[in-house]
């Protein structure tokens, strides 16, 4: 993708392929410097497009031979594609030989080496970096793969499907032949040749089928694979129980690799994972890591049906598989969490994530619909919008047709489209057709605006109560701001789950409903009320909108204290905090916390009926990034330093005024016994860590050593990584003088554990900024011998962590944070454009910044844009940012 010319691909230009490739027989002679690839394909002209040339994609590979039905033919290259003309009108055999250089593939797309082994990554367009092919998802072929490699260096030879043959070869080499019976697009191809060990488990499913499950890792990591295996087993059981979807392979493999651009990849039968989302042991992984492993293992497994059995017609339909599969993994995690309160915690975390990453995207230069209309580099569209907003779109459909209706819709989707490459429209149609007369089917065309229109809708709510008639009228109206290329928006279909509470916070019977707004504005009435009710709107976050509701403080306190919907209880607390924080930012000067707010939080913290996990969420202040977006929504320039100062001030005051309550929370939750990553113990550890963090913060502020000492002791004695890292974070983030030695000790303890060293960097990169010290330390760490930009996890641990999670350190009035960032983006772009273009997103929202941040940001982006050999990936990001 290093070509100078930028081409735009448009959704409306889709045409079916000129030829189908029905089968591929691949042989690999694996060597890091030069790998030989022989591809023998059965090609069938598409009867709808007779006589057209066959165009095959290829990138950074060397062609050595082309044969059609065994004879050499003429060919030429056009725009990077290999073009074959005057081909037979009947099906024919095509043989291609080429070489590639996996050892030099620093982009980690295609065939590359990592830790002395060979791995592949083909989504979206990596297969063309392995061999010439119709590298598009609507061309589906049956693959047979022969791998030949040195037997000592690469004892494990894996590919998709089933192992059909293996054996020795001369000169210390060996081979394996794999065959995958399911036709698949090239992006789902995978191979692995490496020195790995595996955890294996045989299972028999509910329907009585036997399967072999394997998790492959490097030799020292076997003791960290149990949780991934259990998560896989749980995923298989869940998909069968919830959606009637069975594993369709005898063998299912997961392979961990430490150099990986993304989280994980759903290659048919051979999922390849970033080590971060496979390896977990109590000593090295936190509760969050355990949760992530479960959800990513689930996500990739669920792709076997939603992605692999039914795939995307073209990459504009990416959310067809990603939005749906994120929805499925979110549901899986909720079901695994079990009880309602734990499900709500997961929902709050998912929404927080959506608002933290997708809302800014939808408000910035990269705003695009869930089903984009155009792209320069498809890699840039693996976004929060396609994934997380896409999942919300599926969730709204499920809300509109009900749980049973959604299952019927999924059944119809598979009945219609199994084995096909289809579109988002096909999915929505199936859900609607299975639910005639439903709230979705009645307004399907309007609903599909969610696929077509970018931008986050503003949902305005106004209530009025008529004491004479006892009638409450709720008026909902919607408005969506313009986004690049889309000045005007049609109304969306917005399901609004709601209910009314009385002034004492008790639910008013018969008022729980799901209102469906599908026009610019609409009113609903509730009769028979004796007093003005408190509305609880958008329960469970029933639509991905911004709720503009002018709630009184009293209403918010009522919701926080009493709502039956846990999401809205949390949301009310966040609103109360946001109002105070933004008022402080606007007025300047000191933030003085009122007793009403403090005592409401105190009640939550001390409420024996609430889960610790929920308390931790309520007591965690909205992030600086979230606060920044709220300012931008109100049309006010973002001053990240003022936001940082206000939030730090509020944290310090909560640390002080709730001191006794934090002590109680610590005492009640800090001992969780033997490690188990279940929701109750995870919640208790999270709350204990927050309490410790606050107590250390307060101790440092007031020169009291007690809690710093306790934190250090906890750090030393901890029986698991969650407790250990939590205690270390309390010291580092609280700026305790004990932090330095503890950091050193931590580094020495885990020097051989790459994923833990990533945490060591990330922890320091998230320390609350004070007087530029944190940024200075980040720059020092960037020169640490353990730091490297080549490994994506390590690169992200410092840089993306700073730009995404530490606005106070990144956004400096002198612009030094941006300059540092620009240097690193340029450097990474030279060898890994996908990683660089992700990093380049950090200043998407530069136009919303106040001065002097805004000018410095522009200068830094312009500097990146000025790099002459910038990759197409990064160029698309900076061009859009500056447009």
Residues labelled catalytic = 300
Taking CB under 6 A as the criterion, the residue among 262, 617, 643, 727 binding ligand PHE is 262
Strands, sheet with 117-121, edge to edge from the N-terminal-most edge strand? 110-114, 117-121, 191-194, 156-159
CB of 232 to Zn ion, least distance (A): 16
Q: Which of residues 371-430 bind ligand PHE (CB under 6 A)?
A: 382
DSSP 8-state code for residue 88: -
* Span near ligand PHE by CB under 6 A; candidates 212-220, 235-243, 299-307, 309-317: 299-307
Q: Nearer Cβ to ligand PHE, position 214 or 267?
A: 267
Residue 794 interface partner, choices ligand PHE, Zn ion, none, CB cut-off 5-8 Å depending on type: none
Peptide bond into 581 cis (omega under 30): no
Helix, strand, coil: what percent of the chain each, to 5? 45, 20, 35
Question: x/- site string to Zn ion, residues 266 to 305, per CB under 5 A?
Answer: ----------------------------------------
Q: Does 624 bind ligand PHE (CB under 6 A)?
A: no
Q: Does 315 bind ligand PHE (CB under 6 A)?
A: no
Name the phi and psi angles at 97, rounded to 5: -120, 140
Q: Nearer Cβ to ligand PHE, position 123 or 287?
A: 123
Q: Nearer Cβ to ligand PHE, position 124 or 253?
A: 124
Q: Nearer Cβ to Zn ion, position 35 or 325?
A: 325
- Are residues 563 and 536 in contact, defined by beta-carbon separation less than 8 angstroms? yes
Please classify residue 598 by burial: count the beta carbons closer than 10 Å to its beta carbon, then call 0-12 exposed, 13-18 middle and 19+ buried.
middle
Q: Nearer Cβ to ligand PHE, position 328 or 845?
A: 328
Q: What CA–CA distance (Å, rounded) separates 434 from 384?
A: 29
Q: Does 322 bind ligand PHE (CB under 6 A)?
A: yes
Q: Does 300 bind ligand PHE (CB under 6 A)?
A: yes
* Span near ligand PHE by CB under 6 A; candidates 295-303, 576-584, 639-647, 779-787: 295-303
CB of 399 to ligand PHE, least distance (A): 24
Q: Does 25 bind ligand PHE (CB under 6 A)?
A: no
CB of 263 to ligand PHE, least distance (A): 6
SS3 for 114-162 is: ECCEEEEECCCCCHHHCCCECCCCCCEEEEEEEEEEECCCCCEEEECCE
Taking CB under 6 A as the criterion, the residue among 57, 239, 266, 723 binding ligand PHE is 266
Q: Nearer Cβ to ligand PHE, position 292 or 681?
A: 292
Q: How is residue 798 written in tokens?
A: 């410092």
Q: What CA–CA distance (Å, rounded) separates 259 from 794?
A: 9
Please classify residue 574 by burial: count the beta carbons closer than 10 Å to its beta carbon, then call 0-12 exposed, 13-18 middle and 19+ buried.
buried
What is the Cα Rg of the chain in Å?
28
Q: Nearer Cβ to ligand PHE, position 298 or 405?
A: 298
39 contacts: CB under 8 Å, gap ≥ 6:
24, 25, 26, 95, 96, 97, 98, 131, 132, 133
Q: Nearer Cβ to Zn ion, position 322 or 629?
A: 322
Q: Which of residues 309-338 bind Zn ion (CB under 5 A)?
A: 322, 325
SS3 for 736-797 is: CCCHHHHHHHHHHHCCCCHHHHHHHHHHHHCCCCCCCHHHHHHHHHCCCCCCCCCCHHHHHH
DSSP 8-state code for residue 5: S
Q: How is residue 363 written in tokens?
A: 């408000």
CB of 323 to ligand PHE, least distance (A): 10
Q: Does 188 bind ligand PHE (CB under 6 A)?
A: no
Q: How many residues belong to the site for ligand PHE (CB under 6 A)? A: 12
Q: Does 239 bind ligand PHE (CB under 6 A)?
A: no
Taking CB under 6 A as the criterion, the residue among 66, 196, 215, 264 binding ligand PHE is 264
Q: How many residues belong to the site for Zn ion (CB under 5 A)? A: 2
CB of 510 to ligand PHE, least distance (A): 42
CB of 222 to ligand PHE, least distance (A): 24
DSSP 8-state code for residue 510: T
For 705, how many CA atoms within 13 A lie in the half-sphere containing its CB?
4
Q: Does 647 bind ligand PHE (CB under 6 A)?
A: no
* Span near ligand PHE by CB under 6 A; candidates 196-204, 296-304, 749-757, 873-881: 296-304
CB of 218 to ligand PHE, least distance (A): 20
Q: How is residue 827 written in tokens?
A: 């450097």
CB of 39 to ligand PHE, least distance (A): 22
Q: What CA–CA distance (Å, rounded) separates 367 from 859?
A: 22
Taking CB under 6 A as the criterion, the residue among 265, 285, 628, 655 binding ligand PHE is 265
Q: What CA–CA distance (Å, rounded) separates 293 from 362?
A: 28
Residue 265 interface partner, choices ligand PHE, Zn ion, none, CB cut-off 5-8 Å depending on type: ligand PHE
Q: Does 318 bind ligand PHE (CB under 6 A)?
A: no
CB of 302 to Zn ion, least distance (A): 8
Q: How is residue 503 written in tokens?
A: 């002034």
Strands, sheet with 534-537, edge to edge from the N-terminal-most edge strand? 513-517, 494-501, 534-537
Q: What CA–CA distance (Å, rounded) separates 649 from 868?
A: 44
Q: Nearer Cβ to ligand PHE, position 137 or 573?
A: 137
Beta-bridged to residue 42, according to DSSP, are 23, 93
Q: Does 57 bind ligand PHE (CB under 6 A)?
A: no
Nearest to 19 by CA among 90, 114, 71, 99: 90
Q: How is residue 315 written in tokens?
A: 């990459």
CB of 124 to ligand PHE, least distance (A): 6
Q: How is residue 254 written in tokens?
A: 């997961």
DSSP 8-state code for residue 509: T
* Span near ligand PHE by CB under 6 A; candidates 75-83, 260-268, 632-640, 861-869: 260-268
Q: Which of residues 77-106 bind ligand PHE (CB under 6 A)?
A: none
Strands, sheet with 197-204, edge to edge from the N-terminal-most edge strand? 197-204, 210-217, 251-257, 270-274, 264-265
Q: Does 328 bind ligand PHE (CB under 6 A)?
A: no
CB of 112 to ligand PHE, least distance (A): 12
Q: Does 618 bind ligand PHE (CB under 6 A)?
A: no
Q: Which of residues 110-149 bind ligand PHE (CB under 6 A)?
A: 121, 123-124
Q: What CA–CA distance (Å, rounded) separates 518 from 306?
A: 29
Q: What CA–CA distance (Å, rounded) separates 585 from 578?
A: 10
Q: Nearer Cβ to ligand PHE, position 41 or 192?
A: 192
Q: Does 829 bind ligand PHE (CB under 6 A)?
A: no
Q: What CA–CA distance (Å, rounded) separates 203 from 211?
A: 5
Q: Does 695 bind ligand PHE (CB under 6 A)?
A: no
* Span near ligand PHE by CB under 6 A; candidates 27-35, 244-252, 257-265, 596-604: 257-265
What is the residue whose two structure tokens read 């089968």?
A: 23
Q: Nearer Cβ to Zn ion, position 146 or 325?
A: 325
CB of 325 to Zn ion, least distance (A): 5
- Cβ neighbours of 744 (radius 10 Å): 11
Residue 315 interface partner, choices Zn ion, ligand PHE, none, CB cut-off 5-8 Å depending on type: none
Q: Nearer Cβ to Zn ion, position 273 or 853?
A: 273
Kindly list the residues in this chain that would bind Zn ion in the complex (CB under 5 A): 322, 325
Kindly list the residues in this chain that would bind ligand PHE in the complex (CB under 6 A): 121, 123-124, 262, 264-266, 299-300, 303, 322, 382
């Amino acid at each position: 993708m290093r070509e100078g010319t930028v081409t735009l691909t448009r959704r409306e230009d889709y045409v079916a392929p000129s030829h189908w490739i029905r089968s591929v027989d691949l042989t690999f002679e694996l060597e890091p410097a030069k790998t030989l690839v022989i591809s023998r394909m059965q090609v069938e002209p598409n009867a709808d497009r007779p006589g057209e040339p066959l165009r095959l994609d290829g990138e950074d590979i060397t062609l050595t031979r082309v044969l059609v039905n065994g004879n050499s033919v003429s060919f030429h290259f056009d725009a990077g594609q290999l073009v074959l003309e005057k081909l037979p009108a009947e099906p024919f055999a095509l043989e291609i030989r080429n070489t590639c250089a996996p050892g030099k593939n620093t982009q980690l797309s295609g065939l590359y080496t990592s830790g002395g082994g060979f791995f592949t990554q083909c989504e979206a367009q990596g297969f063309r970096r392995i061999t010439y092919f119709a590298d598009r998802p609507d061309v589906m072929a049956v693959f047979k793969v022969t791998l030949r490699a040195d037997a000592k260096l690469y004892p494990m030879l894996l590919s998709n499907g089933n192992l059909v043959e293996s054996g020795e070869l001369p000169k210390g080499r060996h081979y394996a032949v794999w065959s995958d019976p399911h036709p698949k697009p090239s992006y789902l191809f995978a191979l692995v040749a490496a020195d790995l060990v595996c955890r294996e488990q045989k299972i028999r499913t509910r329907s009585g089928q036997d399967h072999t499950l394997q998790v492959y890792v490097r030799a020292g990591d076997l003791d960290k694979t149990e949780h991934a295996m259990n998560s896989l087993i749980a995923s298989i059981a869940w998909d069968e129980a919830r959606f009637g979807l069975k594993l369709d392979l005898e063998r299912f493999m997961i392979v961990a690799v430490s150099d990986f651009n993304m989280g994980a990849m759903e290659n048919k039968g051979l999922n390849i994972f970033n080590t971060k989302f496979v390896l977990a042991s109590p000593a090295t992984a936190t509760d969050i890591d355990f949760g992530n492993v479960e959800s990513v293992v689930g996500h990739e497994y669920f792709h076997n049906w939603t992605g692999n059995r039914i795939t995307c017609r073209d990459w504009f339909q990416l959310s067809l598989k990603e939005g749906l599969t994120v929805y499925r993994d979110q549901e899986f995690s909720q079901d695994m969490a079990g009880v309602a309160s734990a499900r709500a915690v997961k929902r709050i975390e998912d929404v927080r994530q959506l608002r933290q990453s997708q809302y800014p995207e939808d408000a910035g230069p990269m705003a695009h619909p869930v089903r984009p209309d155009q792209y320069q580099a498809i890699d840039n569209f693996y976004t929060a919008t396609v994934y997380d907003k896409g999942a919300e779109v599926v969730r709204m459909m499920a809300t509109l047709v009900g749980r049973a209706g959604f299952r019927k819709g999924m059944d119809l989707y598979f009945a219609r489209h199994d084995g096909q490459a289809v579109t988002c429209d096909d999915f929505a149609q199936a859900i609607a057709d299975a639910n005639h007369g439903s709230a979705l089917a009645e307004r399907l065309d309007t609903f599909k605006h969610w696929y077509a229109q970018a931008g986050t809708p503003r949902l305005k709510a106004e209530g009025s109560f008529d004491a004479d008639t006892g009638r409450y009228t709720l008026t909902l109206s919607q408005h969506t701001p313009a986004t690049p290329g889309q000045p005007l928006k049609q109304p969306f279909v917005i399901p609004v789950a709601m209910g009314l509470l009385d002034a004492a916070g008790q639910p008013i019977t018969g008022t729980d409903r799901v209102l469906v707004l599908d026009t610019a504005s609409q009113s609903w009435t509730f009769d028979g009320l004796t007093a003005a009710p408190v509305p609880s709107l958008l329960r469970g976050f029933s639509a991905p909108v911004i709720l503009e509701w002018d709630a009184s403080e009293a209403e918010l306190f009522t919701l926080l204290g009493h709502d039956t919907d846990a999401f809205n209880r949390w949301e009310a607390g966040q609103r109360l905090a946001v109002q105070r924080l933004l008022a402080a930012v606007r007025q300047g000067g000191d933030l003085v916390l009122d007793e009403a707010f403090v005592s409401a939080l105190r009640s939550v913290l001390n409420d024996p009926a609430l889960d610790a996990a929920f308390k931790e969420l309520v007591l965690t202040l909205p992030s600086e990034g979230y606060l920044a977006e709220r300012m931008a929504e109100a049309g006010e320039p973002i001053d990240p330093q003022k936001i940082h100062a206000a939030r730090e001030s509020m944290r310090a005051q909560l640390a002080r005024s709730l001191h006794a309550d934090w002590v109680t929370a610590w005492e009640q939750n800090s001992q969780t016994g033997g490690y188990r990553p279940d929701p109750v113990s995870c919640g208790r550890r999270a709350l204990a860590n927050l309490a410790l963090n606050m107590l250390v913060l307060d101790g440092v502020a007031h020169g009291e050593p007690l809690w710093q000492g306790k934190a250090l002791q906890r750090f030393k004695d901890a029986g698991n990584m969650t407790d250990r890292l939590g205690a270390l974070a309390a010291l580092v983030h609280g700026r305790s003088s004990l932090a330095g030695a503890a950091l050193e000790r931590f580094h020495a303890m885990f020097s051989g554990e790459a994923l833990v060293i990533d945490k060591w960097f990330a922890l320091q990169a998230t320390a609350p900024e004070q007087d530029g010290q944190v940024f200075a330390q980040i720059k020092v760490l960037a020169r640490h011998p353990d730091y490297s930009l080549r490994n994506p996890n390590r690169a992200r641990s410092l840089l993306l962590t700073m730009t995404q999670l530490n606005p106070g350190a990144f956004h400096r009035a002198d612009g030094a944070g941006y300059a540092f960032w620009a240097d690193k983006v340029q450097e990474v772009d030279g060898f890994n454009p996908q990683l660089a273009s992700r990093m380049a997103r950090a200043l998407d929202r530069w136009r919303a910044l106040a001065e002097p941040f805004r000018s410095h940001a522009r200068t830094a982006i312009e500097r990146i844009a000025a790099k002459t050999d910038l990759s197409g990936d990064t160029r698309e990001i900076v061009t859009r940012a500056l447009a």
